[in-house]
Structure 1
Amino acid sequence: MLAFLVNKREIKELEYLLKREMEEILHDLNDSRIDQIVKHAMEDRYQVLFNFFKRFASERDCCKYLRTKKFKGNKMVK
């Protein structure tokens, strides 16, 4: 396990970057041109980013990015 110290400004920057990246992934998951194998990798990446995000984000922000939909085949299921 690693730890690092960050100040409030750095936390806000990390939060912004993570939100931006998660929004980009969510947008790409809805693109029908992207192969399912790639979408599964994107789902895994989203989970890693979200787990990092929820360590310092507010509960309200976490609820906004909570992902319950998954892709199976060509369809999105809950």
Structure 2
Amino acid sequence: MLGFLFNQRECKELGYVLRKEMDEMLFDLKDHRLESDVRKAIELRYKVVFRMYARLASPKDLSRYARNQNY
């Protein structure tokens, strides 16, 4: 396990980067032309990035990126 100390500005920047990454992954997941293996890899990566974002975001902000299991 690694630990980092961030100041407020760095936390905002990290949150911004994670949000943009999740937006890109959600956009890619809507593309049905992708093969199932690629979609599965994106879904696994999304889960990791979402957990990272959950450590920084408020529940209100987090609910925007929560995915349904039936997705």
Same fold (TM over 0.5): yes
Percentage of matched positions with identical amino acids = 46
Name the structure 1 match of 2:58. 58
Query: How far did residue 63 of structure 1 move?
Result: 0.6
Q: Secondary structure at the match of 1:25?
A: helix
Partner of 2:12: 12
Q: Which residue of 2 aligns with 1:73?
A: none
> In structure 1, the residue corresponding to 2:31 is in which secondary structure?
coil
How is 1:1-78 mapped onto 2 (pairs within 5 angstroms)?
A: 1-69=1-69, 77-78=70-71
1:19 and 1:65 mapped to 2: Cα distance? 8
Which AA in structure 1 matches 2:43? E
Deviations 1:31-77 (A, max 9, x none): 121111100000000000000000111110111100114xxxxxxx4
Cα distance in 1 for partners of 2:67, 2:32 equals: 19
Which sections of structure 1, spanning at least 5 residues, go unmatched?
70-76
Give the AA of the match of 1:17.
V
State the distance in 2 between where 1:29 and 1:57 align. Answer: 22
- Structure that is richer in helix per residue: 2
Secondary structure in 1 matching 2:22: helix
More strand by share: 1
Q: Which has the higher contact order (CA 8 A, sep 6+)?
A: 2
Provide runs of 4+ in structure 1 moved above 6 Å: none
